[in-house]
Structure 1
Amino acid sequence: MVDDQPMWGNNHAVAPTPGAAIIAVDLGDNFTVKGHHLSMIKDRQFDRRSRAYPHKHIAEFVEVCGMFRYGNTNADAIKIKLFPSSLTGETKIWFNELSPSVITTWKEMRQAFVSRFFPPVMFDRIIGEIRGFTQHHESLVDDWLRIKDLLRSCHRHGLRRGTIIQIFYHGLNEPTQAILDAEGIFLYKTPNEAHQLLEDRVLLKLDWSKENRTKPLCKTVAFTKSEENSPLLEKNGSLNDKD
């Protein structure tokens, strides 16, 4: 009887430890997660704030898991075991409050996570942002990467490639549209041709950036000196005139 027990003990009763939401999978006695694998997952934790798009999180998580092999151990079983470590903050609280033993497969884990953190209102918001796409103070390449990022965040958006290309083109300002039209009217191309042209520009920018990062400083100076109308030479000339 409760009334026959010391009140101090009743007030300091230890709450039972809740059961795990995931049914434990036997991975063998010798299974050990690689430390750098776990570190990569924790570096990309989903908190619904700074990292707010569940589909992107799932894609990145699966990509990281695909970098590692654990012998003949089932890949989905490893994903189930590691996925809780990819959550933090509000999302980890949600996972810890799931009913015990409700998750048995990686598919169920993924569906439960996405259903909770990608509600219809978020889908509608991202679709609206895609359809209302407008160029900001960005380059053509940065704008293309931005709309691609939105599309990755909105799984099953249902937009065909031609529709995406037209949304993107009409969202650009006139000078940027003129850049695309310089090689022939852009919207006269097929969706695949237009898409490839944009992807080629991304690769070109990446190659150019890589080249400039690795280029010795002395070569840059030499190039500057070879320019007849270089602002640097003009400045040096004006200084020499004063001597």
Structure 2
Amino acid sequence: MRRSRSSELLPLDPEIERTLRQLRRDNRRREELQAIEMVDYDINRQIQGATIALRDYAVPTIMGSAIRMPTIPANNFELKPVPMQMVQSNQFGGYPNESPDEHIAGFLQYCNTVKMNNVTDDVIRLQLFPFSLRDKARAWFNSLSQESITTWADLSSKFLRRFFPPAKTARLRNEITKFTKFSGESLYEAWERFKEAIKKCPHHELLDNLLIEVFYLSLDETLRSLVYVAAEGALMDKNYDEASALIEDMASSTHNWQNERSK
């Protein structure tokens, strides 16, 4: 039988005992060197620690900002107090009753009023956004890794993922699809409440025709008949803009008429 390469015999060592003794001495020498290195390392650590006062161990480490600012070509770039005060007057705290997407929209409106030569919108937004946060939202921002954010797109995305999680989106989308008109509620009041539900979840991804259908079916028989007549029986043949404009006009007209009667 042909012997495989891996099973070839090693050459015979005529002084195998001497070779084994040498290998043992080499192993002992290697272990002694490793032990000496560990002792030196421990001594160095103790020496370094001895030069540090005990109170210094209790001093917290100051972390840098989570934002790594882009290079700014403008000389002497400095944000003025006014835009900072505008941002701080509308801070987001991270509470359930607050809307993170509305906060972003309002923040961008403020930022659009700030223009500087050779300074990009990204720089202005990155500089100002931390001042728009308080309480839980500020704590979240401070917990981000140092220099982990380099663009406004990255910061806004992280912010919305944290404060507009999928569970909240599902709950708000459910409020739209299961919308119900309250007893005694006028067309105007129901329509305003429905629009507010949509506004709270702008990324609902529901089809326009479904939105109109949900609202129409939520109405009581009397209001549904009024809308049906106003649309000449073809509400579902209209596109979203046409149908919502029709309902908007009806709601505003009845609201104004009721206000006139109450005077």
TM-score normalised to structure 2 length:
0.67
Shift of 1:24: 2.0
User: For residue 245 of structure 2, what is the aligned residue in structure 1?
Assistant: 196
User: For residue 35 of structure 2, what is the aligned residue in structure 1?
Assistant: none
Aligned counterparts of 1:197 and 1:71: Cα–Cα separation in 2: 46
Deviates more, 1:149-158 or 1:137-146: 137-146
Alignment map for 1:109-120 (pairs within 5 Å): 109-120=155-166
Alignment of 1:66 onto 2:115: no
CA distance change for structure 1 residues 6 and 60 in 2, over 3 Å: closer, same or farther?
closer
Alignment map for 1:185-224 (pairs within 5 Å): 185=233, 187-191=235-239, 192-200=241-249
Deviates more, 1:188-197 or 1:25-34: 25-34
Alignment map for 1:87-236 (pairs within 5 Å): 87-136=133-182, 138-183=185-230, 184-185=232-233, 187-191=235-239, 192-200=241-249
Q: Deviations over 1:67-86 (max 9, x none)?
A: 33234421122111111111
Q: Deviations over 1:152-206 (max 9, x none)?
A: 3324321121111111111223343344234233634403321222344577699
What amino acid is the match of 2:149? I
Identity of matched residues, %:
32
Secondary structure of the 2:104 match is: helix
1:17 aligned to which of 56, 62, 65? 62
Aligned counterparts of 1:205 and 1:88: Cα–Cα separation in 2: 42
Aligned counterparts of 2:249 and 2:114: Cα–Cα separation in 1: 31
CA RMSD of aligned residues (A): 3.3
Q: Deviations over 1:95-131 (max 9, x none)?
A: 0010001100011001111111111111111111111
Secondary structure of the 1:20 match is: coil
User: Size of the alignment, in residue pairs?
Assistant: 211
What amino acid is the match of 1:45? Q
Aligned counterparts of 1:118 and 1:65: Cα–Cα separation in 2: 22
Task: In structure 1, list runs of 5 or more residues that go unmatched.
Answer: 213-219, 225-229, 232-243
CA distance change for structure 1 residues 194 and 99 in 2, over 3 Å: closer, same or farther?
same
**Bigger-Rg structure (1/2):** 2
Aligned residues of 1:166 and 1:187 also touching (Cα < 8 A): no
Aligned counterparts of 1:148 and 1:125: Cα–Cα separation in 2: 16
Deviates more, 1:42-51 or 1:96-105: 42-51
Deviates more, 1:125-134 or 1:185-194: 185-194
Query: Taking CA–CA contacts closer than 8 Å with sequence separation of 6 or more, which of the two structures ends up with the larger relative contact order?
Result: 1
